[in-house]
Chain A
């Protein structure tokens, strides 16, 4: 096993780090306070070449391996978790998905704009009553000549209030197994009958817009079916391991950002005549935080490397449980580390003028979004119960 990053990976890591420090860090607090990103942030990320991080170059992407993509989202999350959420929804849930499942015509039509930052992408799966139980979705698509008519409501959709291109799952068959009854569609915000009905206010990751979408006889051309009709499950599940491995970089970055703030504060703040970093209780916290972050990093990077090498993910593959474990552990590490980091700040940590409270509020999302910790635990348990650990 090789634990060294390649020269190219290091360069990408450094470039994103510099971009985040220069362009985003100075406005990160404002983004949280005003609950919106500054204009041009998508264009700037497009110029940096990270929006189509896993997309082939011919469609405007950077064609990086998955570990490099993880390094990118990690560096974004380290400074501004909210931006990482929006970036992840765009670059993975929408763009990577389109890149893997789209026809050549679909890719030529949408990917260049999505990679340059001209278009913002979203994925619409969750519904008010279909959360963890995603397959129970009720949005319907009915064939009407060359079009499909979509009706239904989608909930908690990242980027929806500002999105241009949506991958939407809708039920297309009334009978048969649930898994073979729905289809993925590419929907543009201009399609008649499409409407973002409201923006949702969240505790954290403020700035990353979240919304509810309503489809009322929304007309989607037949050529915008993504994958096969009634084959939505392949589009949904095919990329799940990649998605989990990719997204696990985000809480890893948050944990690191929170740790750095706490380390700095502990060295500067004096009580009882010495810096609080000289007290054993604080030292122990910092040591535990570091250890957990590095344990998470090992798991996250390994899952990403594995996901890249596997031809196929899904049930029965090693990457399936490893990617879920990476996400489970990185997410819970982020909440524990950001909690300890706030605690080290004491009363100051609780004030909005210190950035650590933002990391605390932001981190909690990762135990919930893109699959809850419970769903991850169920998946891991099912895999190891059926197949053991597969170690020699």
Chain B
């Protein structure tokens, strides 16, 4: 399958083709040779973020006046897919930084926050992360316990966030906290926190099964003093922001799943045409062909879903995109699992060892139906929309 030359992928523009080729070249030359080490050592390749900044990819959806490229979510989805094809860890850290922080703030923050924080985030001088999840608030995000209380010119934040991608290395932290705890979902606000703010600290780093190298950890706020001007948008208005942000996050996350699947497919295909058993190459056996075909079919479907959704988001079809993003997220997450499992299987015993790297894709894929809203939550969201 050569998706590069696909004639009608919902109208790929010339610019998008160039973008895809550029990111692929960078990923193959600069990331691929280090992907195994990033995973094995679980070390964040900080310098790659700077390189992504130099390429203009970090602020891809941010207006040029703030140091960005002014493109849409379609472009960001392309970047994430190409990164994930060689390293899910790099793709995850990129997505947390560029989508959850930059794209999110770009849509909701005022000019002063953008002026202050965007240039350094766009170059990669600073790293960003977004903090919603708490130890007791996973799928049930609204039940978060983190609070922010107004005190003069500051808000005082207290609470613990967990499973935060980029958390342990982040300079700029976007955090959600309850400003009116009794108002449930209508009492949550968003803040930009700098790691130097008094009362902020990084808790433990958490070791994961996959996406190793993308730092992941706990953030602790103990009477953390945040200047009032770092409130994003209005007080208690987080829900609207989150709901819109989630669609965009899900599009990008789905694209990452497609990239992981594509990477696994590429390895499996190569192996299947090279490995000989019973006097012929594996690709000559029907059972292997069936696997490759099903993998390619599902990857194509996943990419189309993501692409369609991204186009809708860029056209600001807010009424439609939520449902479509959940479809994409649900399908691509589980698709990546199936595809990487089949891919590993094609490599047989070699696939199970660390040498051919496909086991990394298999481990990485299992995060896809969990993060950014589990498959179960996506099914409930979809059901709600269908039954409305």
Contacts and interface: CB of A to CB of B under 8 A. Distances in A.
Interface of A: 126, 129-133, 136, 155-156, 200-204, 210, 270-273, 279, 281-282, 335, 339, 342-343, 346-347, 349-353, 357, 360-361, 364-365, 367-369, 372-374, 377
Contact of A202 (B352, B374, B376): B352
Contacts of B136: 270
Given A203-B359, A272-B140, A347-B163, A132 B277 contact: yes
**The 4 A-B residue pairs with the shortest CB-CB distance in the complex, in nearest-first order:** A203-B359, A133-B277, A271-B140, A357-B209
Contact of A351 (B133, B137, B207): B207
Interface residues of B, number: 45
Contact of A271 (B139, B278, B354, B371): B139
11 contacts: A202-B352, A202-B354, A272-B143, A282-B376, A342-B366, A346-B138, A350-B366, A351-B207, A351-B208, A357-B209, A374-B287
Given A129-B276, A339-B337, A367-B345, A353 B352 contact: no
B322 interface: no
Contacts of A372: 345, 348
Given A202-B354, A281-B379, A350-B209, 17 more contacts: A133-B277, A202-B353, A202-B359, A203-B352, A203-B363, A271-B139, A272-B139, A273-B143, A281-B376, A343-B374, A343-B376, A347-B371, A350-B210, A351-B206, A351-B207, A367-B345, A373-B345
Contacts of B143: 271-273
Contacts of A339: 337, 366
A372 B363 CA distance: 20
A346 B141 CA distance: 13
Nearest to A203: B359
B370 A347 contact: yes
Interface string B283-320: 00101100000000000000000000000000000000
Contacts of B353: 156, 200-203, 210
B349 interface: yes
Contact of A369 (B138, B285, B349): B349
Contacts of B371: 347
Contacts of A369: 349, 352
Interface in B135-184: 136-140, 143, 162-163
B370 A346 contact: yes
A235 B349 CA distance: 23
A361 B341 CA distance: 11
Given A272-B140, A347-B370, A353 B206 contact: yes
B330 interface: no
B121 interface: no
B370 A364 contact: no
A222 to B, nearest CB: 32
B231 interface: no
B362 interface: yes
Contacts of A281: 376, 379-380
Given A272-B140, A335-B341, A350-B210, A368 B352 contact: yes
Contacts of B162: 347
A265 to B, nearest CB: 12
Interface of B: 133, 136-140, 143, 162-163, 206-210, 276-279, 285, 287-288, 337, 341, 344-345, 348-349, 351-355, 359, 362-363, 366-367, 369-371, 374-376, 379-380
A353 B366 CA distance: 16
A350 B371 CA distance: 10
Nearest to B135: A348
Nearest to B369: A343
A364 B162 CA distance: 29
Contacts of B277: 130-133, 136
Given A202-B354, A203-B362, A364-B362, A350 B370 contact: yes
Given A131-B277, A272-B140, A155 B349 contact: yes
Contacts of A133: 277-279
A131 B374 contact: no
A156 B370 contact: no
A131 B349 contact: yes
Contacts of A204: 352
Of the candidates B137, B366, B374, the one having the most CB atoms from chain A within 10 angstroms of its own CB is B366
B352 A364 contact: yes
Nearest to A369: B349
Nearest to A135: B278
Nearest to B137: A271
B344 A364 contact: yes
Nearest to B278: A133
A367 B362 CA distance: 14
B350 to A, nearest CB: 8
A233 B362 CA distance: 35
A353 B207 contact: yes
Contacts of A282: 376
A128 to B, nearest CB: 9
A133 B210 CA distance: 32
Contacts of B137: 271
A349 B277 CA distance: 37
A100 B1 CA distance: 50
Of the candidates B210, B349, B359, B363, the one having the most CB atoms from chain A within 10 angstroms of its own CB is B349
A9 to B, nearest CB: 32
Contact of B209 (A129, A352, A364): A352
Nearest to B376: A281
A271 B349 contact: no
Contacts of A352: 207-209
Contacts of B140: 271-273
B351 to A, nearest CB: 7
A367 B277 CA distance: 18
Contacts of B210: 350
A153 to B, nearest CB: 14
Given A202-B352, A350-B366, A368 B345 contact: yes
B354 A201 contact: yes
Contacts of B376: 279, 281-282, 343
A168 B387 CA distance: 63
A349 B348 contact: no
Contacts of A373: 345
Nearest to B210: A350
Contacts of B375: 343
Contacts of A156: 349, 353
Of the candidates B137, B279, B344, B348, the one having the most CB atoms from chain A within 10 angstroms of its own CB is B348
Contacts of A357: 209
Nearest to B380: A281
Contacts of B374: 343, 346
A342 B341 CA distance: 15
A273 B136 CA distance: 10
